[in-house]
């Protein structure tokens, strides 16, 4: 393991998975600064490398969600987890070391950034935070952007890190379950469907070939996690909302999991639950994996 000293976090507390724009600026001025990963991405347009090249937070390294934070679409769903070897190489190429503090960000509401946060936690790297509000908040604070070529020249390429994929946790951030586990969680605890209500009900399905939801799941869209400016609601507000969902269906906080269409936005739900102090697991394959087996049941309607 590297002897590099870890960056000291500042902000709301050591357990917070978030850092605000001003706090990140202070961290980037520290020695050593955190490794900063830009994971801008959208479902309809994919990774936004062009946006990164047009302007990014100084010192950031671009990570391609489709190629480095997901495996090829197929039986595992639309965005299955990448292999450990692919993810490890991506993190090393971006300069992440075993002792690195890491901050991840995207364009705004942290949907893609949450995937990177969750994967790092999944592979045993705990020293990672998400920029609350993403690049939009950085710009709104009047903070500078780097409009160079994106750090691809030899003289500014990041030094390779020594990141290694460790064992996945069994509970809390980074923990996961598969299809049978998701169905069991819906029966024993709380399985949160993070998609829009019309997709949960099966009224419309613009992405996947089958509409509906996993029986026993409860709907709470990820859009409920954030304010209009893309920053997360305060922890106490999130806790009240999640407690209402959990208590309303008789669930237990120690049996909470989330899924979505393909495992991306559900990571945002897990992040929000972590902010609220509720440990939760992720079903990475999510609905796009669930429907690959026609024997798995499909529910429609509100419940």
Q: Active-site residues: which are they?
A: 260
DSSP string across 184-235? HHHHHSEEEE-S-HHHHHTS--SSSSS--B-TT-EE--GGGGB-TTSPBPPH
Strand partners, 47: 41
Q: Which of 58, 62, 36 is nearest to 148 (CA)?
A: 58
Taking a C-beta distance cutoff of 8 angstroms, is the pair 289, 80 a contact?
A: yes
Helix axes 235-248, 265-275, angle to 10 degrees: 110
- Beta strands 60-62 and 46-47, pairing class: unpaired
- Cα distance between residue 258 and residue 54, in whole Å: 34
- Cα distance between residue 23 and residue 10, in whole Å: 7
- What 8-state DSSP symbol labels residue 31? S
């Amino acid at each position: 393991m590297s002897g590099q000293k870890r960056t000291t976090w500042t902000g709301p507390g050591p357990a917070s998975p978030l850092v605000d724009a001003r706090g990140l600026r202070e961290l980037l001025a520290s020695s050593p600064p955190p490794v900063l990963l830009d994971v801008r991405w959208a479902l309809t347009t994919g990774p936004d490398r062009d946006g990164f090249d047009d302007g990014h937070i100084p010192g950031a390294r671009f990570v391609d969600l489709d190629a480095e934070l997901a495996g090829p679409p197929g039986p595992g769903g639309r965005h299955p987890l990448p292999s450990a070897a692919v993810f490890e190489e991506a993190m090393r190429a971006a300069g992440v070391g075993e002792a690195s503090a890491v901050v991840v960000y995207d364009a705004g509401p942290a949907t893609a950034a949450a995937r990177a946060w969750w994967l790092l936690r999944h592979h045993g790297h705990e020293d990672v935070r998400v920029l609350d509000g993403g690049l939009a908040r950085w710009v709104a604070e009047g903070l500078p952007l780097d409009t160079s070529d994106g750090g691809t020249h030899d003289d500014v390429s990041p030094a390779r890190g020594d990141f290694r994929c460790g064992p996945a946790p069994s509970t809390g951030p980074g923990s996961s379950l598969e299809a049978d586990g998701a169905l069991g969680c819906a029966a024993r605890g709380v399985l949160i469907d993070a998609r829009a209500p019309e997709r949960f009900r099966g009224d419309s399905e613009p992405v996947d070939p089958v509409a509906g939801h996993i029986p026993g799941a409860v709907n709470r869209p990820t859009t409920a996690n954030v304010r209009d400016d893309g920053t997360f609601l305060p922890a106490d507000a999130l806790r009240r909302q999640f407690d209402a969902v959990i208590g309303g269906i008789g669930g237990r906080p120690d049996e909470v999991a989330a899924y979505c269409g393909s495992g991306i936005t559900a990571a945002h739900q897990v992040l929000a639950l972590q902010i609220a102090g509720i440990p939760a697991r992720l079903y990475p394959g999510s609905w796009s994996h669930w429907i690959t087996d026609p024997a798995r049941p499909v529910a429609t309607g509100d419940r």
